[in-house]
Amino acid sequence: MNIKRLVGYTLALLTVAGSAAWLLRAPLSMALAPKLAASRMAADGLNELPDGLHVGLCGAGSPMPDEERLGPCTLVVAGKRLFVFDAGNGAARNIGRMGFVHGRIEALFLTHFHSDHLDGLGELMLQRWVSTGNAAPLPVFGPLGVETVVAGFMQAYAQDQHYRVAHHGEQALPASGFGGVAQPFFTPTQGHVVLIKDADLEIAAFNVDHSPVHPAVGYSIRYKGRSVVLSGDTKKSAALQREAAGVDVLVHEALSAPMVALLAQAAADAGRVKLKKLMNDIVDYHSSPEQAAETARDAKVGYLLLNHIVPPLPMPGMEKAFLGATGEIYAGPMKVGRDGDFISLPAGSGSVLVGNRLR
């Protein structure tokens, strides 16, 4: 058989096999569906994790669309307790995709009231209510002003609450579990305010510098000797550095000024001069990756995880470019965060286990 004919037969066989596979695709997927549904319904990340402190990115992005990064959201597991920090666009979806049950979220903490940090709040409160039929609303901690935010969402969702309770019944979906309840706090100029404290766990808030946005806070979480600090949105902040001293993981926001300048130039070239101004403006109230690295170095943190990544990084290789000169500043391990990144700090050890729950 000559080569030409052999290639012809092979192609024909592949076509037939491809058609058969295509025809069988629907029955095959439906044969697997019950197993998949059963495992998804039974999945509960809280039951699988070892005792310790865990931090994951349920949104590593910013207001700018990025395929790898939805809006700002960080989840923290302390033992068997699940907390969420900020609820950006898509937060609830990522929390579910990462294998956690929304109904088990004990509380949400907001860093500030820029809309990209709370535009997923309605969906998060809804999922927490319906996924387990919670009878109590979601506590939403935040600096003063959080009560206005929560009241606004409650008003916007009031009709939805009515429809769902009327449809499913009070037994399956108690009206009392709808929405959230604001837990406003005041942060002192110096130091921090402790929000949750027991023998093993402490969660505290402290002021950062996101001026002209006031208030704006970061959070520190300590559990059984392990520790995580979340920067929130801030430019380089001495208070943040103090709070982060010696912690296992610092989750720090980062914006690359050269990359944003490139976008600003592109906006100008496209005649979008107002957008160019916005691009130029955002640089002065965020931190560069290098500044985050300086804070990590000076606070002697164990691991630096960058989040709130601005701008989007759509091409391979851009993460390395985004890091700029950070490697010369901070010698410890660091990563440009992506959705699903998950760091475990087992209790009673010094180990730092880095993975991703979406890959």
The binding site for Zn ion (CB under 5 A) comprises 114, 116, 233
Contact 127, 102 (CB under 8 A): yes
Length of the chain: 359
Q: How far is the CB of 255 from Zn ion (least distance, A)?
A: 10
User: What 3-state DSSP class applies to 185?
Assistant: strand
Q: How far is the CB of 149 from Zn ion (least distance, A)?
A: 14
Phi-psi region of 90 (alpha: psi -120 to 50; beta: other; left: phi over 0): left
DSSP state of 215: S
216 vs 293 by CB, closer to Zn ion: 216
User: What 3-state DSSP class applies to 353?
Assistant: strand
64 vs 201 by CB, closer to Zn ion: 64
185 vs 285 by CB, closer to Zn ion: 285
116 is catalytic: yes
User: Which residues does residue 313 pair with via DSSP β-bridges, in sequence order?
Assistant: none
Q: How far is the CB of 336 from Zn ion (least distance, A)?
A: 16
DSSP state of 347: T
Q: How far is the CB of 285 from Zn ion (least distance, A)?
A: 7
Phi-psi region of 83 (alpha: psi -120 to 50; beta: other; left: phi over 0): beta
Strands 341-346 and 52-59: antiparallel
CA distance 124 to 119: 10
Could you give the angle at the alpha carbon of 90 between the alpha carbons of 195 and 103, nearest 5°? 55
233 vs 290 by CB, closer to Zn ion: 233
Both tokens of residue 48?
Answer: 């699988």
Residue 90 CB: number of other CB atoms within 10 A? Answer: 20
Give kind and range of the element (H or E) at residue 164.
helix 158-168
Q: Which residue has the tokens 């490139």?
A: 262
49 vs 260 by CB, closer to Zn ion: 260
Residue of 116, 248, 339, 341 marked active site: 116
CA distance 110 to 182: 10
75 vs 309 by CB, closer to Zn ion: 309
Give kind and range of the element (H or E) at residue 82.
strand 81-85
Q: How far is the CB of 257 from Zn ion (least distance, A)?
A: 16
Both tokens of residue 171?
Answer: 């037994």
99 vs 218 by CB, closer to Zn ion: 218
Q: How far is the CB of 250 from Zn ion (least distance, A)?
A: 17
Contact 300, 350 (CB under 8 A): no
Give catalytic residue positions.
116
